[in-house]
Amino acid sequence: MTQYDIVYKKLLFAYGHQNWWPIIINGGSEYLSEFNKRRRTSMERLEICLGAILTQNTNWKNVEASLIVLKESGSMNVQQLADISRQELAYIIRSSGYFNQKAKKIKNFIKFIQYRLSGDIDNLDRLDLPEARNALLSVWGIGRETADSMLLYAFDRPVFIVDAYTRRIFYRLGYIDGDEEYDDIRYQIEYDLPQDILIYKEYHGLLVKHAKLFCRKKPVCEECPIQGLCLFYESEG
């Protein structure tokens, strides 16, 4: 077993399955469990992609509120999102913050679906992974983490997401320096783990859980389930 395997198993034991990505059911705020066991519908895929954009540097609760408004206003589809103005969209998603920027990003993503995917989000399945990733990255407003979130959770592609929590946790564990390039960290983790989409999905959810509960910006190490593995705990704790 490698270091990343060991951390995964310990986090899974401590927190259980997270069943990420969280999505909205019927306009409510429940989380759909077990949904990683089936293929996402087109609308779920769209919701995941919009959520990935909206959650950029933003609390998920704020994003969830925006997604509910989007759904209840009948805007959770490509055609409607293409038809409404950027200003209307910004108003709908305002709870997510950076609403002007994000409305522009979503508009660009919708144009991408229309022109590159012929209006059908499922057509991304026709591209191989490097093509799909580069295509997403070519859209203004979609960076590496956002693209990888879409690829893994909406399109079931094997990419490991490197976000601020991933960096922070593995930096404190002593596995990375923390200032490596995004893709260097991604390759290192992907190389270390079995290439298993379900593990990538679950692992990312576990890292978010762990970062929120214990490995916060100001860490709470006393009850941390992986303190025995942690350089930070050794030195600071």
Give me the residues that bind DNA (CB under 7 A), please: 20-22, 51-52, 55-62, 65, 94-102, 139-147, 149, 153, 161, 163-165, 204, 208, 211-212, 216-217
Is residue 31 helix, strand or coil?
strand
Nearest-approach distance from CB 136 to DNA, in angstroms: 9
**Helix H or strand E encompassing 42:** helix 42-54
Least separation in angstroms between CB 165 and DNA:
6
Helices (H) and strands (E) in the chain, counts: 12, 0
Choice between 121 and 151, CB closer to DNA: 151
How far apart are the C-alpha atoms of 158 and 197, rounded to whole Å? 5
Question: For DNA, which is the closer residue by CB, 13 or 140?
Answer: 140
Q: Which is nearer to DNA, 75 or 146 (CB)?
A: 146
Peptide bond into 60 cis (omega under 30): no
**In angstroms, what CA-CA distances link 178 with 102, 107, 181?**
27, 33, 9
Minimum CB separation of residue 122 from DNA in Å reads: 20
Q: Sort 87 into a burial class: Cβ within 10 Å, 0-12 / 13-18 / 19+.
A: exposed
> Which lies closer to DNA via its Cβ, residue 144 or residue 157?
144
Least Å from the CB of residue 226 to DNA? 18
Is the CB of 76 or the CB of 105 nearer to DNA?
105
Least CB distance from residue 217 to DNA, whole Å?
A: 4
